[in-house]
Amino acid sequence: SSNAAMGGSDSPDTIRAMTIPLFFDYWGVLLNADKADGQQMIINWVFTDTGEQYALNLENSALTYRPNRLAAAADATLTLARTTLDEINLSPSPEQAFAAAIGAGQIQVTGNVQKIAALFAMLDTFTTRFNIIEP
């Protein structure tokens, strides 16, 4: 719709329309290279509602992913609905929303949950809602 374009790239319609690969690419753009420097992790993502599976790899300050194949040596595996991921990304604080979703049982985690928190801490928060003229 025409008003979705005016909402910017982080509008709810845009987030929900993103494929998972596009979504991980977006995270790759948000990744702060300085914070990610020297960090390494592999996180498996299993989406219960779409049947998709991905291995997300952080290495050399870059995020890459493999579809349809989970990594045997993953630091953590997340099992969740795609709709839960959308809700987290639309939250003003994705890190807190993520923790809340785990607490509520919407996300099952096996392995090292701290790795996921570390990944969120490396993502810069961009928003299209900012004041051009600072006071």
0.85 cut: is pTM over it? no
List, for residues 64-77, the tens digit of each pLDDT value: 999 999 999 999 99
Q: Which amino acid is at 123?
A: L
**Which has more confidence, 15 or 53?**
53
